[in-house]
Chain A
C-alpha cells in the first residue's frame, strides 16, 4: 500500500520543487547547446532541438499533467458525488431520469466531443480539464448512487428518521460520511485515467499550448526522434507509466480496504 504512494509523492515533489533548482526554465533557449546529449554543458538530460533543457521540460510537463489530472478528478468527484447521492437518496422517478442522463452521456463518443470543443473554442488548458472532468464523473455518480441506495436500507438511517432527522440532514450527516471512503478511493482511480486522457489529447496536439508542455507532448516529441535519441521518449514515457501504475495500485488497495472486499478476502483465507 505504501510504496506506490511514496513513489507518486516523490514524483509530485520533484515536479513541484525541481524547476526552482535548475538554472533553466522550460521555455528558455540555450543557444550554445542545441540538441545536446546527456550531461552536456550542465544539462543533465540534454536539450531538445530548440535548445531547451529536457529535465526542466520533463519536470514542468509532469507538473502540468498531474495538476490537470487532479483538478479534473476533483471536478469529477464533486459532480459525481452530488449527482449520485441525489439520485440514490431521492430514488423513484428522479433516480430513473438522472441515471438515464448518465447512460446517455456514457454513449457519447467523448474524444470526439472534446476535439469538437477544442476546434470551436480554441485550445485552452481550462477547457481540457473541464472536458475531461465532465466525462469522468459518470462512473463516480454510479458508484456513489449504488452506495447511497445500500446505506438507505440500513437500520441506523431508519432510526435517524424515527428520531425526527429531516431527509437532507440524514443525507449529510449519516449517508455522505459513509460514502466518503469509497468516493476517495474512486478519486484515486480517476486520477490515472485522467492522466492518460490528458496525455492522449496532448499527444494529438489538442492539449496544452507551447511553450508550456505536458507528458503527452513530450512523449509525442520523443516519438519523433526515438531512433536517434531514445531517452527523449523513454523518460517522459517512463514517468507517465510509473504515475499511472502507482496511482492505480494505491487506488485499488484503498478501494478494497474501504469497501470491505479486501477484508472479506483476507478473512476468507
Chain B
C-alpha cells in the first residue's frame, strides 16, 4: 500500500521554480532516497509537502488518502503530528537545550493527542533506538549527550507517536564516520520492522546503496535518474550519476597509483599535548599521547580518527599552530623551535588548509590580498598581479577572482583560494585539516584531485587529516589511525585494509564498509 506519493510535484519560491515534476511512491516498510549535489533541491522536495520549507508546492502530494498540496498550515500541522516523523541533520541544535530527554519524549508522544507516556514506556522507546542506560538518560539534557546519543534520542522522538512516514534529512552527515553506519542501520531496522515508509535525503551514495530500495538522483531541481538503489549506485546511466559515483570514495574501489615518495622530511617524536580541563574541574586531558610519525617528500600521510581523537590537535602541534606539552618536531633532521619562536624560514615550510572554507578567509579582504599575504610576509615583497594570477591558475580559478571578496565565493572556490594562499608561501608540506569534509561530494572530489595535482607538480608532502577512511584509502600512501589521543596503528594503505591490527582500525573499517 502506498504511504506517500508525489506526482508531478513542483516547488517554487517567490515565483521562481526550483524543483519540477518529481514523482515518487513509497510503500509501507520501503525506503526511497533522494540524492544529488547541494542545491539540487533534494531537501526542498522532502520538506515542502509538509509546509516545512520556504517554498510553495504544486502538483500532487498524497499522504495516505490525504492530498497535502493546498492544505492550510493548521491542517498540515495536524497531519504532521499524527502521521509523519522527522529526523534532521543537526542533532546538536535539534534539541531544546533547557528541556530534558524525558520532556522531549513526552512532547513527541503526546503531539497527536495521545496520553502522557509513563516512565517504563519511555525507557522502552529509548531501548528501541539502542540507547544504553535508558533510565538514566531520561533525566539528562542535550549538552550531556554525545552527537550519536542525541541523534538516537531524536529518532526516538520522531517515532514516538507511531508515524507512518519518516522523513530523514541527511540524518548522518553531521555525525562521525563510525556512528553513521550504526544510525543508518537503526533507521533501516525501524522501518522494516514497523512497516514505516522512509524518505531519506542524503548525499552518501555508499549508504544509499546499502539501505535504500529505490533512488532518485536530482540535478538542478529535476530528476536525472531513478530506479533501484543498488543498480544506480553500481551502474549509473546518467552523466550526473556517473560523476557522483566517481566522486564518492568507496572501500572496495581499485587503488590508483600515487607518486613515489622521496627522502624523509618531517619527523615527529613523542608529541604530547595536555589541556587543563575547562572551568573549575580539576585534572588534565591528554589530547595527544606521545605520538610519533614521519613524512617523506612527496608523500601523503593520512591521519584518520573519530571526532575527539586528537588528530587535529596533533596536526596543529606539528605545524606550530597549537600548544605542545612535550616532544619534538624535526625537519630534515633539524629541530623546529616552539610555536612562538618559529622564524619566517620555519613558517614557510608547513602551510595549513582548514575545514571551514568560509571561516578560512578574512571576510574583509579581497582574494588578491589573501593570496599575496604569505609571500608578502615571508619575502617582504608583495607579489605581482601576474604572480597572483599564476597562483590562482594553479588551483584552477580564473584571474578575475583576484578582485572578489570571500562572501562572493562558493565553498569550493573559497577552499581553492585557501589552497592558493598556502601555495603562495612556497611550502614543502601542507597540513590539510579535514580540508574536503565541509564540501559536497563532487566539489570535495575536485579539491582532492587538486591536491594530487599540486603534489605531483611541486613534490609536496601532505598531512591529510580526515575522518573518512575510504577517502584516506584513495589518496594516502600511509594511514595512521588515532583513538583517544593515541596513534593505535600506522601502516601503508594496502596493509592497513587487508591486515588491520588494532581494534579501533577494525571498527572503523567495519563502519565505513
B309-327 interface mask toward A, CB cutoff 8 Å, 1 = contact, 0 = none?
0000000100111000000
A153-187 interface mask toward B, CB cutoff 8 Å, 1 = contact, 0 = none?
01110111111110001000010011000000000
User: Across the interface, which residues of B come within 8 angstroms of A160, CB to CB?
Assistant: 373
Partner of A163, one of B316, B343, B359, B377: B377
User: Across the interface, which residues of A come within 8 angstroms of B98, CB to CB?
Assistant: none
For chain A, what secondary structure do more than half of its interface residues adopt (helix, strand, loop), or is it mixed?
helix
B362-376 interface mask toward A, CB cutoff 8 Å, 1 = contact, 0 = none?
111000001001100
- Shortest CB distance B414–A (Å): 11
Partner of B363, one of A158, A162, A163, A178: A178
Q: Is the CB of B377 within 8 A of A164?
A: yes
Bound CA span A178–B374, Å: 19
Bound CA span A155–B355, Å: 9
Q: Is the CB of A165 within 8 A of B373?
A: yes
Q: Is the CB of B354 within 8 A of A158?
A: yes
B418-438 interface mask toward A, CB cutoff 8 Å, 1 = contact, 0 = none?
100110110000000000000
User: Across the interface, which residues of A come within 8 angstroms of B424, CB to CB?
Assistant: 163
- Shortest CB distance B402–A (Å): 17
B392-420 interface mask toward A, CB cutoff 8 Å, 1 = contact, 0 = none?
00000000000000000000000000100
* Size class of the A contact interface (CB-based, 8 Å): 10 to 19
User: Across the interface, which residues of A come within 8 angstroms of B378, CB to CB?
Assistant: 163-164
Q: Is the CB of A159 within 8 A of B377?
A: no
Closest to A178 in B: B364
User: Across the interface, which residues of A come within 8 angstroms of B350, CB to CB?
Assistant: 162
User: Across the interface, which residues of B come within 8 angstroms of A161, CB to CB?
Assistant: 321
**Cβ of B361 under 8 Å from chain A:** yes
**Cβ of B41 under 8 Å from chain A:** no
Bound CA span A154–B421, Å: 16
Q: Is the CB of A165 within 8 A of B377?
A: yes
**Cβ of B351 under 8 Å from chain A:** yes
User: Across the interface, which residues of B come within 8 angstroms of A178, CB to CB?
Assistant: 362-364
- Shortest CB distance A259–B (Å): 13
Partner of B319, one of A155, A156, A162: A162
- Shortest CB distance A89–B (Å): 14
B333-373 interface mask toward A, CB cutoff 8 Å, 1 = contact, 0 = none?
00000000011100110111011100111111000001001
- Shortest CB distance A165–B (Å): 5
Q: Is the CB of A155 within 8 A of B373?
A: no
Interface centre among A156, A160, A162, A165 (most CB of B within 10 A): A162
Closest to B321 in A: A158
For the A-B complex, the count of residue pairs with Cβ-Cβ distances under 8 Å equals: 61
Partner of B351, one of A156, A162, A174, A177: A162
Given A162-B319, A163-B425; A155-B377 close (CB under 8 Å):
no
Q: Is the CB of B347 within 8 A of A164?
A: yes
Q: Is the CB of A163 within 8 A of B362?
A: no
Given A164-B378, A177-B364, A178-B364; A159-B347 close (CB under 8 Å):
no
- Shortest CB distance B388–A (Å): 15
User: Across the interface, which residues of B come within 8 angstroms of A155, CB to CB?
Assistant: 352, 354-356, 359-360
- Shortest CB distance B13–A (Å): 13
Given A164-B344, A164-B377; A159-B319 close (CB under 8 Å):
no
Residues of B in contact (CB 8 Å), total 31
Bound CA span A155–B432, Å: 12
Bound CA span A165–B365, Å: 16
User: Across the interface, which residues of A come within 8 angstroms of B344, CB to CB?
Assistant: 164
Q: Is the CB of A162 within 8 A of B321?
A: yes
Bound CA span A161–B425, Å: 12
Given A155-B354, A158-B321; A163-B347 close (CB under 8 Å):
yes
Bound CA span A169–B378, Å: 13
Q: Is the CB of A159 within 8 A of B359?
A: no
Q: Is the CB of B351 within 8 A of A163?
A: yes
User: Across the interface, which residues of B come within 8 angstroms of A162, CB to CB?
Assistant: 319-321, 347, 350-352, 374, 425
User: Across the interface, which residues of B come within 8 angstroms of A177, CB to CB?
Assistant: 362, 364
Q: Is the CB of A163 within 8 A of B373?
A: yes
A129-166 interface mask toward B, CB cutoff 8 Å, 1 = contact, 0 = none?
00000000000000000000000001110111111110
Bound CA span A202–B245, Å: 75
Q: Is the CB of A159 within 8 A of B418?
A: yes
Q: Is the CB of B362 within 8 A of A174?
A: yes
User: Across the interface, which residues of A come within 8 angstroms of B348, CB to CB?
Assistant: 164
Residues 94-145 of B at the A interface (beta carbon under 8 Å): none
Closest to A169 in B: B377
User: Across the interface, which residues of B come within 8 angstroms of A174, CB to CB?
Assistant: 362
- Shortest CB distance A212–B (Å): 42
Closest to B378 in A: A164
Bound CA span A158–B350, Å: 12
- Shortest CB distance B439–A (Å): 15
Given A155-B360, A159-B360, A178-B362; A164-B354 close (CB under 8 Å):
no
Bound CA span A158–B353, Å: 10
Bound CA span A169–B361, Å: 16
- Shortest CB distance A140–B (Å): 20
B242-276 interface mask toward A, CB cutoff 8 Å, 1 = contact, 0 = none?
00000000000000000000000000000000000
Q: Is the CB of B374 within 8 A of A163?
A: yes
Bound CA span A156–B347, Å: 15
User: Across the interface, which residues of B come within 8 angstroms of A158, CB to CB?
Assistant: 316, 321, 352, 354
Residues 452-476 of B at the A interface (beta carbon under 8 Å): none
Bound CA span A157–B248, Å: 32
Residues 162-211 of B at the A interface (beta carbon under 8 Å): none
Bound CA span A76–B513, Å: 60
User: Across the interface, which residues of B come within 8 angstroms of A165, CB to CB?
Assistant: 373, 377
Bound CA span A155–B350, Å: 15
Closest to A267 in B: B54
Closest to B363 in A: A178
Closest to A166 in B: B377
Q: Which 4 pairs of residues, A with B, have the shortest CB-CB distance?
A: A163-B374, A164-B347, A155-B354, A155-B360
Please give 20 more A-B residue pairs, beta carbons under 8 A apart, in addition to A156-B370, A163-B347, A164-B342.
A155-B354, A155-B356, A155-B360, A156-B359, A156-B362, A158-B354, A159-B360, A159-B418, A162-B347, A163-B378, A163-B421, A163-B424, A164-B343, A164-B344, A164-B347, A164-B348, A164-B378, A165-B373, A165-B377, A177-B362
Can you list 16 contacts pairing A with B, beta carbon distance less than 8 Å?
A: A155-B355, A155-B356, A156-B361, A156-B362, A156-B370, A158-B354, A159-B351, A159-B354, A159-B421, A163-B347, A163-B374, A164-B344, A164-B377, A164-B425, A169-B377, A174-B362
